[in-house]
Structure 1
């Protein structure tokens, strides 16, 4: 949105932020631009001890800034309330279908960045005819449901995983799988999702049955440290491994989705992965797995993503400023206070101190 659009909506646009109580942003604020003793909301990308942002968190503490990270705005059960997940799912799935069209010379979808908004993106999808493919979508959060929105818009029929794994179809179908479908206990006992979240060390991947049946894999899951990889480079070499196209919206490089060997870009969103040589090749190569692994997908739908993000913030966060934080939203989200990490985020102290 332009400055004029803010002014037209009745906002004063200024470069002087000295009298602001709360500064609201999205991306990381450059260290030199941080104003001491302010309260900031933005994605700091520090809660997983990301080494590239250690100096940012150090500066926040030095300047006695109260940081509330959008990632830490959560319900009591830990579920995130704010994020761009839906838009990543929407755009990533569209991009995946675009890649299939280009790889197989079936149709040509325009890049999302050239389209006005989500409605126009869906209008483009209405013009294509999908091949008869089987699609697996992993995940249970906002990303997966953004992806599901596109699949449902296209009229792809959802089937149970039992049917998916045992049947042939004469139309495109998809199945939605969560952690207890693509992981199993290594001792053969029945798995428990919440036990898995706490400690995944006694689990192994159960993704291969899906890989045997799937043409197009959409990775919309959250991958936690220590969890089994969905498929490894060795898995991808196996004769029965059938996946030809991957839209890795989660985009964990050299991780749970072996074909994601680097993030791709909005400018150049598709590459090929040769499972035999374990290297990047032209995505049109015969033996290539076609990979879409853009790591900033919501940027392709900036207007919709901004409005959606704003709606979530208005619904979940703004009331907390006026109701004495009745639901603990601000308390749970606050990472730093008066130059120190809050108790909830004290696990980051060694990271701040450069010890890990």
Structure 2
């Protein structure tokens, strides 16, 4: 393969994102392992790794990356910063036809940009090969416990973003002293596994869904739910996992039994808009609805959880949801409200750790295909746009690009 310049871009989205796709040590590793690749780092004063850390690893620093062939960032690139005729890697948040990024995808096509979205990088079985999910789960669960402590004046933890790294965060766990509450965690992937790291680290006992529903405990406990624990076929038939993911519209929700016994919900499961919601606004207003704190790690606005009306920020991580008027407001003002944590960039609170894990997966699982022959079609499957048009795999986005639809799913 011919020589390639790989540029690490300065993040331009607001609010600021301090993560990087490649750490300084990983950027050096790329140059050592791929002799035809030169890494250039765009100078930035917002990264969790400083310019000098890249420079000390022998990486070229530059204010301009116009001469780079491949540009890697994390969040969406502002439209006016997009450089025509380049290959870009970032999370575009377009594959679910997110209305707020329609203009971004339009600009990518107009500028003849080849867009490869991290979210669509998969192996041959469809499993994602790069993600920040673990750290979303870690910070999401920590923030959920933090919010519960705030709501009931139980303990005072440092915010995750105030900790230097994960090891520093773990020193806060000993401060957690919970009454015998029940915590329900949804999901079986990276997010939920990250959340379980925190709950286990805090000494919160894991129980089965059946025990969670039927038993009382004298200490705080949690249960982790997979999709079959809270969804069931509409025809009362057998739950078939692959069928659920292919045809979620043929299933109905069965989560309400957990809302009657749980105090805190940590939502970490991917949600397809065709699938059942966890519960509805009218369910919250029922007297037996017990949950009063929700950590919505997925942060699907107006999605499976009706109280997630808008995203929170790292600076202001919680708000209160009033089911009576279906509105949100200042947090911790009424016992009748639901306290919601719905930060949409949770890994940013531990940016060094999150970047290290993400970059490791990028170097090991993606770059060999990018700078090699891509015989397994890893890059091809993840390419959303190329040569001024949508690729065949993502042609379903054409009406979205043309502004002829407002919602949809891949």
Matched, 1:351 2:395: no
Partner of 2:388: 339
Name the CA distance, whole Å, in 1 between partners of 2:167 and 2:269.
25
Partner of 2:192: 144
Matched, 1:39 2:87: yes
TM-score w.r.t. structure 2 length? 0.83
Partner of 1:308: 357
Q: In the TM superposition, what whole-angstrom CA distance separates every residue of 1:56-103 from its partner, at most 9, and x where no partner exists?
A: 212222222111111111122322222211111111111111111111
Residue of structure 2 aligned with 1:64, choices 108, 112, 121: 112
Name the CA distance, whole Å, in 2 between partners of 1:87 and 1:328.
28
Higher mean C-alpha displacement, 17-26 vs 140-149: 17-26
Partner of 2:127: 79
After superposition, the Cα gap between the structure-2 partners of 1:215 and 1:323, relative to the gap in structure 1 and judged at 3 Å, is: same
Deviation at 1:262, TM superposition (A): 2.1
SS of 2:105's equivalent?
Answer: helix
After superposition, the Cα gap between the structure-2 partners of 1:354 and 1:244, relative to the gap in structure 1 and judged at 3 Å, is: closer
Partner of 2:281: 233
Name the CA distance, whole Å, in 1 between partners of 2:155 and 2:87.
49
Matched, 1:153 2:201: yes
How many pairs align?
356
Name the CA distance, whole Å, in 2 between partners of 1:41 and 1:120.
31
SS of 2:61's equivalent?
Answer: coil
Name the CA distance, whole Å, in 1 between partners of 2:381 and 2:293.
39
Q: In the TM superposition, what whole-angstrom CA distance separates every residue of 1:293-323 from its partner, at most 9, and x where no partner exists?
A: 1111111111111112111111111111344
1:1-356 superposed matches below 5 A: 1-280=49-328, 282-356=331-405
Name the CA distance, whole Å, in 1 between partners of 2:220 and 2:313.
28
Name the CA distance, whole Å, in 1 between partners of 2:77 and 2:342.
25
Deviation at 1:126, TM superposition (A): 2.1
TM-score w.r.t. structure 1 length? 0.96
Contact residue 156 and residue 175 of structure 2 kept, 8 A: no
Contact residue 281 and residue 323 of structure 2 kept, 8 A: yes
Q: In the TM superposition, what whole-angstrom CA distance separates every residue of 1:249-277 from its partner, at most 9, and x where no partner exists?
A: 11122221122222222111122223344
Deviation at 1:25, TM superposition (A): 0.9
Please tell me the root mean square deviation across aligned C-alpha atoms, in Å.
Answer: 1.5
Deviation at 1:18, TM superposition (A): 3.4
Contact residue 217 and residue 246 of structure 1 kept, 8 A: yes
- Structure 1 runs of 4+ off > 6 angstroms? none
Name the CA distance, whole Å, in 2 between partners of 1:64 and 1:276.
49
After superposition, the Cα gap between the structure-2 partners of 1:243 and 1:318, relative to the gap in structure 1 and judged at 3 Å, is: same
Name the CA distance, whole Å, in 2 between partners of 1:16 and 1:215.
51
Structure 1: runs of 5 or more not aligned: none
Name the CA distance, whole Å, in 2 between partners of 1:31 and 1:242.
44
Deviation at 1:206, TM superposition (A): 0.2
Name the CA distance, whole Å, in 2 between partners of 1:210 and 1:52.
33
SS of 1:52's equivalent?
Answer: helix
SS of 2:129's equivalent?
Answer: coil
Name the CA distance, whole Å, in 2 between partners of 1:210 and 1:131.
18
Q: In the TM superposition, what whole-angstrom CA distance separates every residue of 1:145-166 from its partner, at most 9, and x where no partner exists?
A: 1111111111211111111111
Q: In the TM superposition, what whole-angstrom CA distance separates every residue of 1:30-52 from its partner, at most 9, and x where no partner exists?
A: 22222222111111111111222
Higher mean C-alpha displacement, 157-166 vs 28-37: 28-37
Partner of 2:43: none
Higher mean C-alpha displacement, 297-306 vs 314-323: 314-323
Name the CA distance, whole Å, in 2 between partners of 1:319 and 1:60.
25
Contact residue 236 and residue 258 of structure 1 kept, 8 A: no
